[in-house]
Amino acid sequence: QLLTGVSPVMYWVSSYCWDLINFLIPLLFIFAMFLIFQIDAYSGRNAPAILLILLSYGCCMTPLMYCVEPIFSVPSTAYVTLIVTNIFTGTVSLLSTTVLDLYQNELPNLKVINDILKALYPWLLPNYNLGRGLMQVATNHYSVYAAEEFNLCPAGDGKCVTSPLEWNVA
């Protein structure tokens, strides 16, 4: 970047914008698939939350990959290693808190560990945030659907409305 005479800030801002534009193409394709196939939990009134989660993920992962990229000397090695690492960390972190959610009432120590992990993972792993956000939106959707179906809404009018953009839903 210094050979071209562009300032480092301008180089990285333009690079970030270009990478985000390239991220938007598959993001919009994925979002369109949710809408076209009418996946209940990820379309309809949940669509803005899903779009926000996917967009936030791209905004967070791009600079994180910039920071880790210089560790590698071969671009293909960096690409494969980062993909495998991201899939592994996202899956393991999401599964660990989900399993601990299931068993934390049986062993009190698990609740403490789960609370620590749930406080730590969002700051360290954007992959965890993506998975947890998608899972919470789907859980919220199906909880509201079941409550409306069995007339369990507190208002008694059969309409349970919980916004997917509410705090701690997505």
What tokens were used for 99?
């399993």
- Report the mean per-residue pLDDT for the chain: 88
Question: Which whole number is the average pLDDT over 161-166?
Answer: 72
Weakest mean pLDDT among 13-22, 94-103, 108-117, 148-157: 148-157
What tokens were used for 110?
């698990």
Weakest mean pLDDT among 3-7, 81-85, 92-96, 131-135: 3-7
Residue 169 has pLDDT above 80, yes or no: no
Residue 158 has pLDDT above 60, yes or no: no
Cα-based distances in Å from 156 to 53, 141, 150: 32, 19, 11
d(Cα 90, Cα 37) in Å, to the nearest integer?
Answer: 25
C-alpha neighbours within 13 Å on the C-beta side of residue 49: 26
Cα-based distances in Å from 42 to 15, 37, 122: 31, 10, 21
Cα-based distances in Å from 85 to 42, 80, 103, 125, 127: 26, 8, 27, 11, 10
Q: Please, which pLDDT band fits residue 140 given cuts at 50, 70 and 90? A: confident
DSSP structure class, residue 3 = T
3-class DSSP state of 149: helix
Question: Any idea where the domains of the chain sit in the sequence?
Answer: 8-149
Residue 135 has pLDDT above 50, yes or no: yes
Query: Do the Cβ atoms of 62 and 16 come closer than 8 Å?
Result: yes
Question: Which whole number is the average pLDDT over 29-38?
Answer: 92
pLDDT for position 170: 46
pLDDT for position 123: 93
- What are 2-31's pLDDT values in tens digits? 667 888 888 889 999 999 999 999 999 999
Residue 95 has pLDDT above 70, yes or no: yes
Nearest to 51 by CA among 168, 164, 140: 164
pLDDT for position 45: 86
